[in-house]
Amino acid sequence: MATDLISTATAKLSNFVDGQFVSDGPEFDDINPADGSLIARVAEAGPEVVDAAVVAARRALGGEWGGYGVRQRAALLYKIADGIEARFDEFVRAESADTGKPVALASRLDVPRAAANFRAFADVIKTASLEGFETETPDGKHALNYAVRKPIGVVGIITPWNLPILLLTWKVAPALACGNAVIVKPSEETPATATLLAEVMRDAGVPNGVFNVVHGFGEGSTGEHLVSHPGIDAITFTGESRTGAAIMKACAPGVKPVSFELGGKNAAIIFADCDRDETIQQMSDAVFLNTGQVCLCAERVYVQRPIFDWFVSAMKEKAEGLNIGWPADKATNMGPLISKAHREKVLSYFRMARELGATVVIGGGVPEFGDARDNGFYVQPTILTGLPESSPCVKEEIFGPVCHIAPFDSEEEAVAMANDTAYGLAASIWTNDLKRAHRVSRRMNVGITWVNCWFLRDLRTPFGGVGLSGIGREGGVHSLNFYSELNNICIRL
């Protein structure tokens, strides 16, 4: 079943170094989470492959690529976007096979965003302005200060499995726009689309060594080799907060700049005056999209008491209406979790919730299909109520199709509950009271607050989190500020 979801060209997934596919050394399995079948064997990049990628990247910076101007780089980014779109169906099949996400979702979200990321940062780099100051000197004359942008050098890009090509290109595009060379390490769970992207880069004419892909695991493997390599100038990472801490430690001796997009335990606050139909429609996505495996998903939902019962039963109806099935089936809108290990983690929270006296409104277990999907990693969409706010299910990121819904009475109480977390990625507020929308949004201790919407993106805006949710902001000019060094030039006039 799985092998027809991925092109035969990628059935053996190789590393991509200096413009060549290389696959010596050990291999690991790429597994389809929908039925547990083997998609491909993947070449694991050891220290020597990572080293070769660093050498190639440094050579590229000093070669033809180093001489590219902004317009040339932007033109190349547009060509890469066109190349992704030309192979749209292959990207969708590969992403769906690796993650188990419905083809409908990969076609609507992941692959279009991959192309959009390249176009967006081509536009940003062409239009970004730089600071300039005329400075008065002590002798009454003037000096001119102006800043120029330079690439940081070789950027290591480490990404997770939940939105693989979306999140990888979100970092590759601005890094290339700024003139860097990159070495990307996709998640070991989802190596396929990064490999396809290497083919697109090669065919678009990206100079050798500018874009390199190294496959493998994290600790003790490719990820660790990459972050601790002295030839890497900066690390940008998306993944778990704990992994971020380990990477920060590895980057400390070289004082390497880091940009981190980490975990979340995001709150949604639903006021009684919200537009009920729209709120339920979008909250269903906010909890269940991508089987709840989006860092922005709302795992904590606070509902004003007068509409609490209505909200719980309307969400239950939404969960009942989800079509859990084969990812390739166009009607499927919920796929499996990424892996057996991740399903164990999610199920352990369901067990813990029951032990702590939660009401399981719906779900809490594993669906049965009577076919090969029973070898996959599905769980039921799950809604919990009745847990204390101190419960691990309310405090820790579960990263599955699950939320805990709790009532609140006052705005003050809702704000306090929403902010009572070590994370701080995103929040959503649902209300028709404009003044309250502004007031509550400003009080959220997060990087992103959505009002009457969720995961609505404008790629020019700052994206990132506070607390355990990350360091720094990417998006628009904020990405340029991470992926380039500003060099101030002061000229006495």
Beta bridge partners of 426: 448
| Residues 164-183: x where in contact with ligand 6OD by CB under 6 A, - otherwise, as a string | ---x--x-------------
Q: Does residue 162 belong to the site contacting ligand NAD (CB under 6 A)?
A: yes
The closest of 185, 157, 237, 165 to 16, measured between CA atoms, is 185
C-beta closer to ligand 6OD: residue 56 or 173? 173
Q: Which of 12, 59, 395, 457 binds ligand 6OD (CB under 6 A)?
A: 457
Q: Which one among 102, 174, 179, 218 touches ligand NAD, defined by CB under 6 A?
A: 218
Question: Token pair of 147, please?
Answer: 């800043």
DSSP 239-272: S-HHHHHHHHHHHTTTT--EEEE----EEEEE-T
- Minimum CB distance to ligand NAD smaller for 187 or for 212: 187
Tokens at residue 9, please? 């060209």
Min separation Cβ 478 and ligand 6OD, Å = 11
Given a contact cutoff of 8 angstroms between Cβ atoms, the answer to whether 44 and 28 are in contact is: yes
Least CB distance to ligand NAD at residue 168 (A):
10
Supply 141's token pair: 């004359």
262 binds ligand 6OD (CB under 6 A): no
Q: Give me the least distance between CB of 270 and ligand 6OD, in Å please.
A: 22
Residue 351, classed as helix, strand or coil, is: helix
**Looking only at residues 165 through 184 of this chain, which bind ligand NAD when binding is defined by CB under 6 A?**
167
How many residues are listed for the chain in this entry?
493
- Amino acid occupying residue 60: A
Stretch that binds ligand 6OD, among 75-83, 294-302, 371-379, 435-443 (CB under 6 A): 294-302
What residues are labeled active site?
261, 295
Give the residue with the Cβ less far from ligand NAD, 54 or 307.
54
The option from ligand NAD, ligand 6OD, none interacting with 465 (CB < 5 to 8 A, set by class) reads: ligand NAD
Q: Is 296 near ligand 6OD (CB under 6 A)? A: yes
Q: Does 187 bind ligand NAD (CB under 6 A)?
A: yes
- Is 346 one of the binding residues for ligand 6OD (CB under 6 A)? no
170 binds, among ligand 6OD, ligand NAD, none (CB under 5 to 8 A by kind): ligand 6OD
DSSP 384-415: EE---TTSHHHHS---SSEEEEEEESSHHHHH
Name the CA dihedral angle for 219, 221, 225, 227, rounded to a multiple of 10 degrees: -40
DSSP line for 419-444: H-SS--SEEEEE-S-HHHHHHHHHH-
* Residue 219 makes contact with ligand NAD by CB under 6 A: yes
The residues of the shown chain that bind ligand 6OD, judged by CB under 6 A, are 162-163, 167, 170, 261, 294-296, 457, 463
